[in-house]
Structure 1
Amino acid sequence: MPKIEIYTQPGCPYCVRALRLFDQKGMKFTEIRALHGTAERMEARERSGGRTTVPQIFIGGRHIGGCDDLMALERDGKLDPLLAAA
C-alpha cells in the first residue's frame, strides 16, 4: 500500500472531499494539519513547489497536487493504477 500524505486545514471543503475519496477507496493516509503560519504549512509549500493552498497531496512521495488534481486523476481512471504502482 502506498504512503499517502495529505496536508489539510480544518473547515476546508476541498480537504474533506479528498479525504473522503481515500476513505471510500479504503486507503490509509496520513493527515497533516497545516494551519496558516505553521511549520507544517511551510513544509507543504516547500514540498509542493510553492503551492500555498490545501490540500496538498502526496502518493508514494510524489506530489499529486490539490483536490481538483486528485479528482481529475480519479475521473480519468488514472488514480487506481497510481495507487497500485506506488
Structure 2
Amino acid sequence: MAQVKMYTSNYCPFCSRAKALLQQSGVTDLEEVNVDGTPEVRAHMTQLTGRTSVPQIFIDETLVGGCDDLYALEARGELQTMLKA
C-alpha cells in the first residue's frame, strides 16, 4: 500500500473527514503532521503545496490536495488505484 502523509490541525473538521475516508479506504499507516503552534512546519507545508490550509494530503510523493480534492479523487474511482500503487 502507498504511504500517506497528511498535514493537519487540531479540531479541523476537514482533516477529520479526510482521515475517515482514508481509513475507510484501507489506510492503516497514516503519517499525520500537525501544523498547530509550529510556524516552521506550516511554512514547510506551504512551500511544498503552495497552500496554507489543512489538510494537505500526499499519497507517496503525489500531492492530492485537501479534503475536497480527496473526495473528488474517490468519486472518480482513482483513490484506490493510487493507494495500491
TM, length-normalised to structure 1? 0.90
Q: Secondary structure in 1 aligned to 2:64?
A: strand
Q: Which amino acid aligns with 2:74?
A: E
Percent identity between the two aligned chains? 42
Aligned to 1:75: 75
1:26 and 2:26 are equivalent in the alignment = yes
* SS of residue paired to 2:6: strand
| 1:65 equivalent in structure 2 | 65
Give every structure 1 segment of 4 or more consecutive aligned residues whose post-TM-superposition deviation is greater than 6 Å.
Answer: none
Q: The residue matched to 2:57 in structure 1 has which SS?
A: strand
Q: Partner residue of 2:47?
A: 46
Q: Distance in 2 between matches of 1:82 and 1:66?
A: 16
Any unmatched runs of 5+ in structure 2?
A: none
Residue 43 of structure 1 and its aligned partner are, at CA, apart by: 1.4
CA contact (8 A) 2:6 2:58 kept: yes
Q: How far did 1:83 drift?
A: 1.0
Instruction: State the Cα distance separating 1:37 from its structure 2 match.
Output: 5.1
* Alpha-carbon separation, structure 2, partners of 1:81 and 1:26: 12
- TM-score, with length taken from structure 2: 0.91
Aligned to 1:15: 15
What is the CA RMSD across the aligned residues, in angstroms?
Answer: 1.2
Aligned residue-pair number:
84
Q: How far has the Cα of 1:3 moved from its partner?
A: 1.1
